[in-house]
Amino acid sequence: MPDYIYLIRPMRQEFFDHPTPEEEAAIEAHFEYLKQATSQGRVLLAGPCLDRTFGVVILTAGNEEAARTFMMDDPAVSACVVMAELHPMKISLRY
């Protein structure tokens, strides 16, 4: 199966220091969504950059449409808390 990466960036810079209750709920649901997908072997890696610039999700999907659907179903993306950008990728090295 091909691998994909999606980058997420918050819609508001203030999100980091002053998230709204809606943003907090969307991020909590986002974490649970990714945690479940990781336990199913769909998400290979996920996490935020510590410099507060973007987060990354690397996943395995059958095709780009499936990867895009997974990304758009991410609760933080569907709630418009973050903007997301999908890219196909080849993992050349894996631990």
Q: What is the DSSP string of 12-81?
A: -GGGTTS--HHHHHHHHHHHHHHHHHHHTTSEEEEEE-TTSS-EEEEEE-SSHHHHHHHHHHSHHHHTTS
Divide the 95 residues of the chain into consecutive groups of 10 and give the mean pLDDT of each group.
Answer: 94 93 97 98 96 96 97 98 97 87
Domains identified in the chain and CATH numbers: 3-89 (3.30.70.1060)
**CA distances, 80 to each of 27, 32, 40, 75, 90 (Å):** 11, 17, 25, 8, 28
The four Cα atoms 82, 23, 32, 45 give a dihedral, to 10 degrees, of: 30
Say what the pTM is: 0.94
* In the chain, % of residues over pLDDT 70: 100
The model's pLDDT over 15-42, given as tens digits with 9 standing for 90+, comes to: 999 999 999 999 999 999 999 999 999 9
